[in-house]
Amino acid sequence: MHVGLREFAPLVMYIGAIVAFVLSIVWKPRIGLYYLVPLLPLQTARYWLHSYPLGEKLVDILLLGVLVGLFLHRAERQIFDSSPLNKILLVIFVLTYLSLWQGAFYLGAPLPISFDDPRFSNWKNYVEMFFLFFVAAASIRTTKQMAIVIGLMCVSVLIVNRDYLSTVGSRNFSHFSYGLRDAGPLGYAGENGMGAFQAEFAIFLIGLAAFAKKPLLKLGLWAIALTSIYCLELTFSRGAYTGFLFGLFVLGLIKERKFLILTVVILMSWQSLVPNAVKERVTMTYQEGEGLDSSAEERVTIWEDAVHVFNEDPILGTGFNTYAYMGRVGGYTDTHNYYLKILIETGLVGLLIFLWLLGVACKVSWRLFRMARPVCDVDLYYGRELLRRPMDVPASERILMDPSGTRGSGAPCRESREGESRTGGAGNGVRRIPGRSLRGT
């Protein structure tokens, strides 16, 4: 980030983290989440803290503070809401850890019992996203608190977009080259990670805007979404482009038909709307007489090889986080296809459990979308929809887990105490929805 007082920023961030950690324990657990949410995508900014004691553990320590605060204040609130997702996430937690040990024997690697072990560290980062889901659901209870979280997410995305555009905005986009691509402040998420981040958040904001009643709020959400769409355009991520268009298509099916029209317009006129470099990036995927471009061909080779690996251990796979150490195709450490990665590393058992997670998440999402929408007045479907995306993402993208976590229980939104007093008291503070309750669905 290019700020005037950049030399003081690391110290301010570090002191702020300490204060947020303490306040999460002694006052309100959600303070830690409020502080953490804007920092999650700023991977390169969090690198600044690595020179401070435990600075590289910022995310872990803040989440620990929130958890301790939740337990200390458990008399005031139920820590974890009942949810059909809880059981599935617990199964995934246990399965992946056992698979981590299996992978150690498969690779002949050290046993996964130390944080210094990179495979154990990767597993910890993976399940930490599930933990963030539970913590967000337990800490963020009212519509006002949800609005604060979403507002902080918007601020963070604006910072990401400003930094990204300051890096790539002056480049020449008359012709495509791989040198044009940049991950920006997302760091090791990579260029495709930046594209996925922008596509998801743009659709999330557009979905929110579709439900917003106030014109100024709707305009603000669209303005931020447009900055993400512009950044998405410059990531040259073809998968992210496809995901964004599919998101618009889904919005058109479930909310407003105008998004279907917008999708058609984009598909028909995109070549006249984007820089020539973007046009070349998309059209180079397949050339008649030449076939796939080198990047696409490499991925096909990786996938074909991945199928061979899967056939060797089809039931339980080779073990969690093993493919990166196999050296199968060139220097690639990832399959570039999450479903194939699941098949390779956790076998058919792991894939079926993951599909179970997606199915239940969709069911909860749809019921919440249909029944709780008038109360929450936010696009809860798209918050929950983010869980459908493969979740082997770095901390820079965990910001997108928060809106899903806040209502992942499938329970109605709780109103704030101010709202309760205005309505003359509502017992437990839950604004009831006509019809059957969603809790436990």
pLDDT reported for residue 402: 52
Average pLDDT over residues 35-45: 95
pLDDT reported for residue 408: 54
The amino acid present at 251, given as its one-letter code, is: L
pLDDT reported for residue 1: 47
CA-closest candidate to residue 412, choices 379, 383, 386, 374 = 374
Average pLDDT over residues 257-280: 96
Q: Which residue in the block uniquely carries the two structure tokens 């402040």?
A: 185
- Percent of the chain predicted with pLDDT > 70: 83
CA-closest candidate to residue 98, choices 335, 390, 337, 347 = 347
Strand partners, 142: 414
| 8 A C-beta contact, residue 314 and residue 288 | no
In this predicted model, which residue has the larger pLDDT, 76 or 408? 76
The model's pLDDT over 90-129, given as tens digits with 9 standing for 90+, comes to 999 999 999 999 999 999 999 999 988 999 999 999 999 8
C-alpha–C-alpha distance, residues 218 and 230, integer Å: 18
Could you give phi then psi for residue 117, rounded to 5 degrees?
A: -75, 120
C-alpha–C-alpha distance, residues 31 and 29, integer Å: 5
Average pLDDT over residues 21-34: 97
Where are the chain's structural domains? Answer: 1-79, 80-422
Q: Is the pLDDT of residue 54 over 50?
A: yes
In this predicted model, which residue has the larger pLDDT, 325 or 365? 325
